[in-house]
Chains A and B, each alone.
Chain A
Amino acid sequence: QKEVEQDPGPLSVPEGAIVSLNCTYSNSAFQYFMWYRQYSRKGPELLMYTYSSGNKEDGRFTAQVDKSSKYISLFIRDSQPSDSATYLCAMSADKGGSEKLVFGKGTKLTVNP
């Protein structure tokens, strides 16, 4: 079993839809959870960063962490064509810098106008 599992999609939705992206993980030591957005031919861009369980909201984006189920989610409200990208979840057990993040393989999202 991989440490982090993420459905690769692709996921195609109409503009304005609510998008739900998910990852599951097996390592109970993970405490720090991140979502990155990666446009084609670009580096990943940090979207959301959460510690332990709970919700975090930033504009149209909401990140949820359920440590008891080892499950994290990213919700995108009122999705826009500019949200079309690959979304990567990442997690880490250690705090302190940019050291060893474990990534999901990414979900490719297309938002159709």
Chain B
Amino acid sequence: KAGVTQTPRYLIKTRGQQVTLSCSPISGHRSVSWYQQTPGQGLQFLFEYFSETQRNKGNFPGRFSGRQFSNSRSEMNVSTLELGDSALYLCASGGQAGTEAFFGQGTRLTVV
């Protein structure tokens, strides 16, 4: 069974630009969550989608948004990038039962 796939693996953007990251969950999983990981703050929850609906949202500004498609693939978008947005962005997928979350390899975003 294929794992969680995130693309691209690495990105370099300049301040003010916007970026879109993609996540394909494990086949059959309908829940996709996004997390930001930085050395200072650790892993922080961004938002979670289930069956194309945002079900939970963390404490991030509105520049961070996401969506989920009918095939459960998800994208997250960050607009007006700031230097502080440099981080590893992780996507996790989960099944309907239980809270096991399986993570992808992440997208490392560097804002310069």
Contacts and interface: CB of A to CB of B under 8 A. Distances in A.
Interface of A: 32, 34, 36, 41-46, 49, 88, 90, 92, 94-106
Interface of B: 4, 6, 29-33, 35, 41-45, 48, 50, 55-56, 58, 90, 92-106, 108
Contact of A49 (B56, B99, B104): B99
B106 A100 contact: no
A101 B101 contact: yes
Contacts of A103: 35, 42-44
Mostly helix, strand, loop or mixed at chain A's interface?
A: loop
A105 B55 CA distance: 24
Nearest to A94: B99
Nearest to A101: B101
Contacts of A96: 31, 94, 96-99
A4 to B, nearest CB: 9
Contacts of A95: 97-99
Contacts of A100: 33, 45, 48, 56, 58
A41 B88 CA distance: 9
A46 B48 CA distance: 18
Contacts of A94: 99
Interface pairs A-B: 5 shortest CB-CB = A97-B31, A98-B94, A98-B101, A97-B94, A43-B103
A98 B105 contact: no
Given A44-B90, A96-B31, A104 B48 contact: no
Contacts of A45: 103
A103 B90 CA distance: 13
26 contacts: A32-B98, A36-B103, A43-B105, A43-B106, A44-B43, A45-B103, A46-B101, A46-B102, A90-B43, A95-B98, A97-B29, A97-B30, A97-B31, A97-B96, A97-B99, A98-B29, A98-B99, A99-B55, A100-B48, A101-B33, A101-B35, A101-B43, A101-B92, A102-B45, A103-B35, A103-B44
